[in-house]
A and B are shown apart, each in its own frame.
Chain A
């Protein structure tokens, strides 16, 4: 009789634990939220390494390397929250600047100024997930988001 009760208690424990785990999983899948981006990487040209990393978590900007043949770039302005690179697009033979704005509060990046035929990338507005691509300038911003692999 005593043994039965112990067995019963075990069963209750097992069923209870299973239920709790089950409910936890159900809730976590039903209320799945795709988290904010943790960082945005700025890339230049075909280099697979980001040239600048905008870390939204630690609110930090890191320059990974300098642009070739353009010693001053990238330029970081921490007060106005901008990063300036030299793009590939040329006006009268001169490469033009691309000004990228970032916001740690909103976790967003925006291409503020660039020269290109249709200003496609500066017209895209601010983004918190979608990549910003400046084709004629060979500059792009990609967001680090653990949940989303691609946006189409």
Chain B
């Protein structure tokens, strides 16, 4: 008997020892298929744990991608009750939803309250109209249309020109006084949308009354319900789903004692643990901030850098999806109060613990004017434990920083 016990114990001990000696390494994997973005996750762990974690992480993104999309219905064999697309077809009806969708909606509504309605998930119809304008931006030159030239070779232009004629290599443009010949590959410019497109878009959004939009969530006995009310209410979780899901993934990795990791979800949300590759620099990550001012260089430049670890970083800006008319950028961040894109700032980066909160806040803060912004930061910066770096329209940078090191690279 004793021999048996000793043998079993010896086997267990050997197994345990093997378990302990399984070496850790840096592993990463990437996903192209969820949330219309490229997602990359890196972690320092054992090969077995990496396999387990990456499977779990992929299924989390996959689930929230299916639940939160407003563009596609759930697949026929989907295990879920409803998604945002299907809820949007059932206005003024109380429908049962799954707990994960209920949870993200509940969180979104809490952020809506926190920001006094500046963050708003019921603007789907309005943002769809602006997105249509952005998608209608010409891809090719057309005689009679306008281009907005930011830069020609090394020279800053910031000027609007009418297209007179063009070849594959040249464009003849008129700045209102004279016709000039430009080499296409030296131009940093945007094709402008025409006046009709802008007027049409503004008229369409102005015609929509969104004042009666409301989301009512109810729960009882493990059943969860939503009722979307309002004549023009359409849910859009685009400004929170990526951050919220990334936060869940980040929490999962922390719970599983993964100390060194990074999750980057597109070009706007990053969640970080410690950086394994910088043991001599306190394991920080160098995160560079995109310069929204495209006229600064021929390439897409960066204006600043933060040194961070164990935080999330989120950016909102007017420089990724936009249409230009008369030099003004009409982008995808819409004010629920004016139903139009807001242009108080060019870009805004928020640093903090909760990627979901940061995602929502970067949008809400972008919409707030300077007074509302100051007021919000004075009231909430400490309790929310957030830091903000704001790139203003006059190219100055305002920082609301506590411990994070920010370097201006200009």
Contacts and interface: CB of A to CB of B under 8 A. Distances in A.
Contacts of A126: 298-299
A151 interface: yes
Contacts of B349: 152
Contacts of A34: 288, 302, 305, 409
B300 A127 contact: yes
A148 B288 contact: yes
Given A48-B28, A126-B299, A133-B38, A152 B287 contact: yes
26 contacts: A32-B407, A34-B302, A34-B409, A46-B30, A48-B29, A125-B299, A125-B300, A126-B299, A129-B288, A130-B290, A130-B300, A133-B38, A147-B286, A148-B287, A148-B288, A148-B305, A149-B262, A149-B275, A149-B285, A150-B285, A150-B286, A151-B267, A151-B287, A151-B302, A152-B267, A152-B313
A108 interface: yes
B270 A128 contact: no
Interface in B247-281: 262, 264, 267-270, 275, 277
A86 B312 CA distance: 35
B357 interface: no
B139 interface: yes
Contacts of A151: 267, 287-290, 302
A115 B215 CA distance: 39
A25 to B, nearest CB: 14
Contact of B287 (A119, A124, A150): A150
A94 to B, nearest CB: 20
B139 to A, nearest CB: 6
A140 interface: yes
Contacts of B305: 34, 148
Interface string B379-410: 00000000000000000000000000001010
A62 interface: no
Interface residues of A, number: 29
A46 B29 contact: yes
A23 interface: no
A48 B30 CA distance: 8
B180 interface: no
A108 B286 contact: no
Interface in A48-64: 48
Given A126-B298, A129-B299, A133-B38, A150 B30 contact: no
Interface string A98-141: 00000000101000000000110001111111110101001010
Contacts of A138: 32
Nearest to A32: B407
Nearest to B269: A152
Contact of B270 (A32, A45, A148, A150): A150
B407 to A, nearest CB: 7
A43 B31 CA distance: 12
Contacts of A45: 32
Interface string B283-320: 00111111000000011111001000000011100000
Nearest to A150: B287
Contacts of B30: 43, 46, 48
Interface string B205-233: 00000000000000000000000000000
Q: Which of B28, B32, B38, B302 has the most CB of A within 10 A?
A: B32
A108 B267 contact: no
Interface string A34-46: 1000000001011
Contacts of B285: 149-150
B154 interface: no
A46 B28 CA distance: 10
Contact of A135 (B38, B288, B409): B38
A32 B30 CA distance: 32
B188 interface: yes
A46 to B, nearest CB: 6
A147 B135 CA distance: 35
Contacts of B29: 46, 48
B13 interface: no
B25 to A, nearest CB: 12
